[in-house]
Structure 1
């Protein structure tokens, strides 16, 4: 969150010395991004930035950009804008992802302030859209952050999420005359407190149901299968996340399925596809399922519209009767506890030990 300026001058400085901010440690949370609005031009700007990222679409630029700029961006902003409009936070005129990320940042900032006072500054940025990584890094440097811990809010590592977020952070650092020391938080999918937060979210929803779902589906964002074959660890980390969740819940094998959503383009992506799998379950006679999204730290278009819309409809159209969506961890207390613990572990040596 924004902090008051700490610019000042010490007695040891000569009179003509420029102001120097009091040194502090910055904690920068980073999420995927959001358009500024659901109108055509806001959506076009956002989609152009997102789909031009070589980490996301790695086709040769000469081949991909003409298709993107003349075909895809002529039509997709309308359909994507309609999807965003269906979930938009009209009261604050922003996407749910932005609303939730603000709440997460405020909760982490409160916890860190209680522990370290004004020695820390907590902010958030978006890889695509606003607030941009560049602008927030600049604000933190101006406020005296000589050290920045960068926290990509992706529990599992993927080149198209974690790596591109890191790329943008490093590009922002390249523009700084005096670069702050920096650290990047690694994927935290197997951290016990993250797994605990996931398990509690499932238990909380199940406790409020009058009948237990016959199957839990953990739906992760998809990626081309080719990326797995090239060495991206995302698929394996998703599989392990599901296993750790099942073990923490104490459930039998076969009680949770791992699937992948948001397929884009003509090539094969990681399987099974969520939308096909839930329909298959319904055709097999399963009438009640629950779906969770462990790869998303906050509810967004892929969960609120895709899972609760397209995927729910696929299940019900195939004969399913009850579809229970388990919200993302968002700013739930166990999630904030997990994040602040992970942050503290990665701050080792940067802040005085608490007495």
Structure 2
């Protein structure tokens, strides 16, 4: 290899791109509508023929749902914006710092949203403008699902079709069984219980998917069950002290069960005094955790006769999670990083 080639390759930078689901730019119907249009137009998210789905989406859903969704976002909006964006941005900053302290200060770390802004396309363009020629794409979905992880890869590959000089690419498929991730979850829950006491039952709630997706071979259900079992073991919980459930059901089709809302209602009716809910499928708090669980879920449990309800915060910017994320990133970059 010539000296010129060695010099050229040594100048190439490695990029790390964190990708989360997305969020509207404001808690208003006007901002929610285009976000929902992009999200619900993804053929991996809604697996119905376009000729059937698009009239329903544009004629009914986008004329009714944005206002109701905007109210939910408004109830959890932070001074700096959407919680999902605020926490994902902070995770990106902290990950870059953690990697730098390990001697990897040459890495370029950035984030994007699959739907909305900052878009994957514009973020990758920014990374390439900084000299990134090798890119690790790390979706912030611990459990693999075609409607989440795969659609990130779809979007990245669509962009690659338009580029003359594409970067080398790696994708992190899943890490719901990663020991560091499980330890970070358990550490956060243990710390919460040290301050607030322990519940009678811990409900682990994951985002739901239509049951048909599992029948078609999607591993998401099994990966969620595996994460829940590993977390329960790490916390030392007996079988009757925890549940694994699924939230955010949409439409009339049967979704993965048991449903979180129905479980909370039944626990209230059964006279369970205190229930805590953790959401191990979300690494950052968002409308699904803060509003759907923290507000709606709480009301369902209390109305059914439950006494005390706690929604445990997601990993967010916890040091244990940032350390686990740095470990995961370093491991996935194996062979690209210079020898320590």
TM-score by length of 2: 0.96
Task: Summarize the alignment of residues 61-140 of structure 1 with structure 2, pairs less than 5 Å apart.
Answer: 61-89=50-78, 91-92=79-80, 94-140=81-127
Q: Distance in 2 between matches of 1:169 and 1:313?
A: 40
Query: Are the counterparts in 2 of residues 20 and 144 from structure 1 also a CA contact under 8 Å?
Result: no
The Cα shift of 1:280 comes to 0.3
Q: Equivalents in 2 of 1:23, 1:282: separation in Å?
A: 57
CA distance in 1, matches of 2:239, 2:301: 22
For structure 1, the 5+ residue unaligned runs are: 1-11, 14-18
Task: Please show how residues 129-168 of structure 1 align to structure 2 within 5 Å.
Answer: 129-168=116-155
What's the CA shift for 1:289? Answer: 0.5
Q: Tell me how large the CA RMSD over aligned residues is.
A: 1.7
d(CA) in 1 for partners of 2:312 and 2:104? 35
Please name the residue that 1:9 is paired with. none
**How far did residue 250 of structure 1 move?**
1.9
Q: Hey, what does 1:40 align to over in structure 2?
A: 29
Q: How far apart are the structure 2 equivalents of 1:302 and 1:125?
A: 19
Would you say 1:307 and 2:290 are equivalent positions? no
Q: What displacement does 1:117 show?
A: 4.7
Are 1:21 and 1:143, in contact at CA under 8 Å, matched by a contact in 2?
no
Asked if the contact 2:96–2:105 (Cα under 8 Å) also holds between the matched residues in 1, the reply is no
Deviation string 1:238-282 (CA, Å, 9 cap, x unpaired) is 111111111112222221100000000110001111011111011
Within the alignment, does 1:207 sit opposite 2:160 as a pair? no
Q: 1:29–1:150: 8 Å Cα contact kept in structure 2?
A: yes
Number of residue equivalences: 336
Shift of 1:119: 2.2
Alignment of 1:49 onto 2:38: yes
TM-fit CA distance, 1:21: 11
Aligned partner of 1:295 in structure 2 is: 281
Is residue 248 of structure 1 aligned with residue 223 of structure 2?
no
Segments of 5+ residues of structure 2 without an aligned counterpart are none
Matched, 1:238 2:218: no
* 2:324 match: secondary structure: helix
1:39 Cα deviation (Å)? 2.0
**Quick one: distance in 2 between partners of 1:20 and 1:162?**
30
Q: Could you tell me how far 1:175 is from its partner in structure 2? A: 2.1
Q: Distance in 1 between matches of 2:212 and 2:146?
A: 12
**Structure 1 residue 170 displacement after superposition:** 1.5
Q: Which residue does 1:31 correspond to in 2?
A: 20
Is the contact between residue 286 and residue 320 of structure 1 (CA under 8 Å) also seen in structure 2? yes
Aligned to 1:277: 263
- Runs of 4+ aligned structure 1 residues displaced above 4 Å come to none
Q: 1-side partners of 2:11 and 2:121: how far apart?
A: 21
Aligned residue among 209, 213, 225 for 1:227: 213
Separation in structure 1 between the aligned mates of residue 9 and residue 178 of structure 2, nearest angstrom? 38
Q: CA deviation at 1:219?
A: 0.4
Aligned partner (choices 248, 265, 279) of residue 251 of structure 2: 265
Q: Which residue of 1 aligns with 2:306?
A: 320
* 1:108–1:340 contact (8 Å) kept in structure 2: yes
The Cα of 1:165 is off from its aligned counterpart by 1.2
What is the alpha-carbon distance in structure 2 between the residues aligned to residue 193 and residue 114 of structure 1? 18
Separation in 1 of the partners of 2:320 and 2:102?
17
Specify which structure has the higher proportion of helix. 2
| SS of alignment partner, residue 119 of structure 1 | coil
Q: Deviations over 1:49-99 (max 9, x none)?
A: 00000111010000100110011100111000111111112x22x201000
TM-score (norm. length: structure 1) = 0.92
Residue in structure 2 matched with residue 8 of structure 1 by the alignment: none
Aligned-partner SS, 1:217: strand
For 1:34 and 1:154, locate their aligned partners in 2 and report how far apart those are by CA, in whole Å: 15
> Retained in 2: the 8 A contact 1:24–1:121?
yes
